[in-house]
A and B are shown apart, each in its own frame.
Chain A
Amino acid sequence: MPVDDALSSLRRLPRLAADAEAAQVTRRLAAAVALGVLADGERMPAHPELAELLGCGPEPARSALVRLEREGLLIEVERGLLARRPQDPELVAGRSRLAALGAHELREIADQHTAVAGTAARLAAERSAGPELAALRALAAEFAAARTAADRCRLDGRLHVELAATAQSSRLTRQEIALQAETGDLRWLPWAEAVPAAEEDEHHRLLLAAISARDGARARELAEQHVRTGLRGLVEHHQWIAAGTRR
């Protein structure tokens, strides 16, 4: 496949900040390969050219190529590095669901999720007792230690459901479970997480601190922000896929 194809695919990605770090460049490229914005088998340009296309520095671009090769998202052949789309079944299913959902539908789900998660967090701040808080902290710690997207998806979902249960509301808990089932898997697609795990971890930490300080207003605000951040990530991935497949 000619290099030009990969270049035009890379041009479809939003540009990175000039001071983007290797981790950000890696995340952007990994998601592009996983979501199929870079087609399977497309040849990657050398790192100086890649840096120019993405708008980042050459060193982070070089480092990203090395990391992606280690992850198996790029393979080295005689002609250079080729993109290799993972055949992970969760990713394949999630990608087609993300393509089919519109930005409007994702926004609708997130609106409801904001209402449920925000109220659950506020009530949890008012109603949770010591042992429940300890259980939430234990889940957050397990999440922080998790290494695969599947584990993160399970633990993050579990944490938010437990939080609704801590609010002593069976109705909010049922709604939280249903909402987690609807977008949980899309937020945690392997290599294409809507929110980077480290950022998610930070959200959990702040939210649990607000709950244990019994600051209901702050807990609600953080829970709402958390849903909104995830929504933006999902819409962004949806737009990449939709623009990539229709050109």
Chain B
Amino acid sequence: MTPEQEVAELVGEVLAGTFEWCTELGEHLRELCSATAEPGTDDLTGLWQPIFDRLAAEPWRLAGTGVVLADRVLANRVHWLEWWQRGTDGEPKFLQVDHDPGSVGFYDYATAPWFAGPRDTGRPVAVGPYVDFSGTDEYLITLAVPVRAGGAFLGVAAADLRVTVFERLLLSRFGPADAAAALLTGTGRVITSNVPHRLPGELLPTAGARRSVEIPGAGCPWRFALLDG
């Protein structure tokens, strides 16, 4: 296996492991919602333990995880996300967002690609890196899977990853002295690289990649590319 295939495999494993977790979390949500006629925010406390365990098991990998609900799935809230992050003290921290549609800081997730994508296509998505304003206000990659019960869309189960996860992985195989390389999204945006002039978030010029390997398995259009310089 070439070093670039090796990195592609490792990235694929991170994505696949995270998608598996999202699917598992979505399953918990589906069970909770089908166990009661009118599920409310109180019922979502049943998700806490699995979420806390997962955050503790992968502190360096997961920036946050939880479920984001479709309108009116809950009896007591129109708009809701049960989202937890790892706080600076290592304890799980609940994410408070603005649920008021009239406010400029409203967290309008219904139009976000990580929500609308799974809702409209029924398929998992990897979105980003992007600035999650009004939500976490961080620069993140979000992986999300749809959650359905019968014909109804309940929402998405999702997880946030920081780009440093992939930086660490890339630099462990491709150091500054090795060939210039970058992990790219489908649109050619740099997720991470081993050269100081290709920074996370920048777009790589179309002619910039010499050859690239697709990230296997995860069903997202990322690729690992060797650069011209």
Residues of A within 8 A of B (CB): 11-15, 102-105, 107-108, 231-233, 235-236, 239-240, 242-244, 246-247
Does B194 sit within 8 A of A, measured CB to CB? yes
Task: Give B172's nearest chain A residue, CB to CB.
Answer: A246
Instruction: Give the interface segment out of B16-24, B69-77, B118-126, B196-204.
Output: B196-204
Residues of A close to B177: CB separation below 8 A: 11-15
Interface residue count on the B side (C-beta < 8 Å): 22
Cα–Cα distance between A246 and B107 once the two chains are bound (Å) = 38
**Residues in B152-179 with C-beta less than 8 Å from chain A:** 162-164, 167-168, 171-172, 174-177
User: Chain A nearest CB: distance from B179 CB in Å?
Assistant: 11
Q: A-B pairs with the 4 shortest C-beta distances? A: A243-B175, A235-B196, A102-B164, A104-B200
Does B192 sit within 8 A of A, measured CB to CB? yes
Does B139 sit within 8 A of A, measured CB to CB? yes
| Interface SS majority for chain A | helix
8 A-B residue pairs with Cβ-Cβ distance under 8 Å, sorted by A, are A13-B177, A104-B162, A235-B196, A236-B196, A239-B171, A239-B195, A242-B168, A244-B175
User: Chain B nearest CB: distance from A45 CB in Å?
Assistant: 16
Complex contact B194–A239 (CB within 8 A): yes
Residues of B within 8 A of A (CB): 129, 139, 162-164, 167-168, 171-172, 174-177, 192-197, 199-201
Q: Looking at A15, A236, A242, A247, which has the most chain B CB atoms within 10 Å of its CB?
A: A242
Cα–Cα distance between A235 and B182 once the two chains are bound (Å) = 14
Residues of B close to A242: CB separation below 8 A: 167-168, 171
Residues of A close to B164: CB separation below 8 A: 102, 104-105
Cα–Cα distance between A232 and B196 once the two chains are bound (Å) = 5
Known pairs A103-B167, A108-B139, A246-B171; A239 contacts B176 (CB<8 A): yes
Cα–Cα distance between A233 and B195 once the two chains are bound (Å) = 11
Cα–Cα distance between A233 and B197 once the two chains are bound (Å) = 10
Residues of A close to B200: CB separation below 8 A: 102-104, 107
Residues of B close to A243: CB separation below 8 A: 171-172, 174-176, 194
